[in-house]
Chain A
C-alpha cells in the first residue's frame, strides 16, 4: 500500500520509519508547515533528518501531500477537540478522493463520529482507527471480532501517565506534585500534562469506545463523558487505600446503560485492573464469552505506529 502520512511527531515518524518493514511505501510525509511528496516513495530517513536539522521535512506543502498519490491516508496530526480540525478536513479530502484513512488522531472519532461515518458511507474508502484507543493494544479489532452488539461494558486504564503517577504515589508514599515532576523528568509526562492528569485523554478514548459500542444509536462526544482527573489527589488517600488492600487508578468505563465515566476509583491492589507504571488495560464484558482483558503499552511512537500499520494491513487484505 502507498501511504501518505500526515503528522511527523512520535507516531507519524514511527509509521514512516516502520512502513517499509511491513511492505508498504511512504509516498508523502507532512508536518504542519512542510511536506515531502514522491509517488515512487520518499526517502524517509532524510526527510526526518531534515526535520531535525532544518525544522521542515521537505519543500512541498501539506496540501500537496493530501492531493498526491496514495492508497491510505495516515492521519497522525495532534488531537484537537470540538470541530477536530484540521484533522477532520484531511480525512474528508481523502475520503472524497475514495482513499482509505487510518487515524491515530483521536479528534475525528471522539468529537465528530457521525460526520465521519457519513463521509465514509459516501466514499469507496474506509476509516480505521485502532491506534486511537490504547496504542499497541488490539482493542477495537477485538471488539470488531467479538461484534460490538455482544459486548456489554468496557472499563479500564487508558492513560499511562496518570497510571504511572498513581503507581509511584502508592509505592513510594510520595505526593502528587513530586511524582508529576519525576514523571516529567523521565519523559513519561509531557511538559504540559493537563490532558493526561485531568482525565481528558482517557475520556476521549472511552468516548471512542462508546461510539463503537453504541454508535448505531447515538453519537458521543467528550461533552457526554463525566470526567474527573487525578490532580492533587493527596498521598493520604493512597495510603488509606493501600492499608485496605486497595489502590487508586484512573478508570474509564462505558457502562451497560451507555454512560461514559472517567475518574479515580478504588480497585483491589492486586487485581487485574491495577496495572503498574505506564501500562494500560481494557476489560471487555462479553455476552457469551465472559470477561476479556487486553493489556499492554497504550502509548509511544513505535507502539502506536504498530497499531496504525495493523490497520493498513487490514485494508490491504480487503
Chain B
C-alpha cells in the first residue's frame, strides 16, 4: 500500500449485513485493515432493509485512494455495499407514511425516494398491526445534504401522492421544537 499525500476526507459507507453473529465485526475489518479511521457506526439491529438485511451506516476518514481500496476489500469479503461516497449528510429527516404501503411496493417506494432526491434512507420501521394487506405505516429516516431538506420533502411529497400514501412530514422550518 503506497502512502498517499492526498488529503484525508470523510466518507459515509452504507452496508447491508446478514443477521448473523460476527457480521458487523467482519464488515469493519476491511476498513481498519486498509487504513480507514472509523468515525461512527450506526447499526440499527431492530430494523431490516427491504431485503431482510440489517442496515449499517459507517462514517470513516481516509484518503480517496485508500477509500477505494476499502470499498473493494469490503466487496471482496462479500459485504453488500449499498452506497459509498463523500457526500456529507448533515440533515436528518424523519417522516411517517401510511396507507397500503406493502401493496404499493415499499421497496420500490424507497428506491424512488433515493432516486429522486439526494437523500438516502438510513432507517426504516414498519408497523402493520392489521397485517400487511391493510393500512400500515412506516417511519423513515432520511439523510439529506445540508440545505436540501425542502427539495427532499417536496420530492417525497410527490412520491407519496403518486402512490396514494399519506405523508406526515416533520416540522422543519426554523428548527421548531
Give me the interface of A with B, judged by CB distance under 8 Å: 153, 155, 232-237, 239-241, 243-244, 246, 248, 251, 253, 255-256, 263-268, 271-273, 283, 285
Q: How far is the CA of A46 from the CA of B166 in the complex (A)?
A: 51
- Cα(A244)–Cα(B139), bound, Å: 9
Separation of A236 and B136 alpha carbons in the complex (Å): 6
Report the bound CA distance from A256 to B177 in whole Å: 17
A200, chain B: closest CB distance, angstroms: 18
Which one of A234, A237, A273 contacts B176 once the chains associate, using CB atoms below 8 Å?
A: A273
B173 and A153 contacting across the interface, CB-CB below 8 Å: yes
Query: Could you write out 30 A-B pairs with CB less than 8 Å apart?
Result: A155-B171, A232-B166, A234-B136, A237-B96, A237-B137, A237-B166, A237-B168, A239-B129, A239-B137, A240-B127, A241-B168, A243-B139, A244-B94, A246-B94, A246-B170, A251-B171, A253-B173, A263-B169, A265-B168, A265-B170, A265-B171, A266-B94, A266-B96, A266-B169, A266-B170, A267-B170, A271-B176, A273-B171, A273-B176, A285-B174
- Bound: A235/B94 CA distance, A: 17
Chain B interface mostly? strand
In Å, the complex CA distance between A264 and B97 comes to 11
Residues of B within 8 Å of A266, CB to CB, are: 94-96, 168-171
B177 touches A236 (CB 8 A): no
Taking a contact as CB atoms under 8 Å apart, the answer to whether A267 and B171 are in contact is yes
Q: Does B38 count as interface, using CB distance less than 8 angstroms?
A: no
Report Cα–Cα, A271/B171, bound state, in Å.
12
Closest to A274 in B: B177
- Report the Cα distance A155→B170, complex, angstroms: 13
Which chain B residues (109-148) contact chain A, with CB distance < 8 Å? 125, 127-129, 135-139
Q: How far is the CB of B176 from chain A (nearest CB, A)?
A: 6
What residue of chain A has the Cβ atom nearest to residue B129's Cβ? Answer: A236
Taking A155-B171, A244-B139, A271-B177 as given, write out 7 further A-B residue pairs in contact, using a Cβ cutoff of 8 Å, ordered by the A residue number.
A155-B173, A233-B168, A234-B137, A240-B137, A243-B139, A244-B94, A253-B171
B169: chain A residues within 8 A (beta carbon): 263, 265-266
CA distance A188 to B96 in the complex (A): 27
Chain A residues whose C-beta falls within 8 Å of the C-beta of B135 in the assembled complex: 234, 236
Sorting the interface of chain B by its residue count into under 10, 10 to 19, 20 to 34 or 35 or more gives: 20 to 34
Tell me, yes or no, whether B37 is within 8 Å of chain A by CB.
Answer: no
* C-alpha gap A282/B135 in the complex (Å): 33
Judged by a CB distance under 8 angstroms, whether B34 is at the interface is no
B49 on the A face (CB < 8 A): no
Instruction: Fill in one digit per residue for B141-175: 1 if any A CB lies within 8 Å of its CB, else 0.
Output: 00000000000000000000000001011110110
Contact A235 B177 (CB under 8 A): no
Q: A248-B168, A266-B94, A266-B95 are in contact. Are A240 and B139 (CB under 8 A)?
A: yes
Q: Shortest Cβ distance from B119 into chain A, in angstroms?
A: 16
Q: Scoring B residues 90 to 103 as 1 if CB is less than 8 Å from chain A, else 0, what string do you get?
A: 00001110100000
Residues in B with CB closer than 8 Å to A264 are 168
Which B residues are CB-close (under 8 A) to A263?
Answer: 169
A267 CB contacts on chain B under 8 angstroms: 170-171, 176-177
Residue of B nearest to A239 (CB): B127
Q: Are B138 and A273 in contact (CB under 8 A)?
A: no
Contacts of A233 in B (CB 8 A): 98, 166, 168
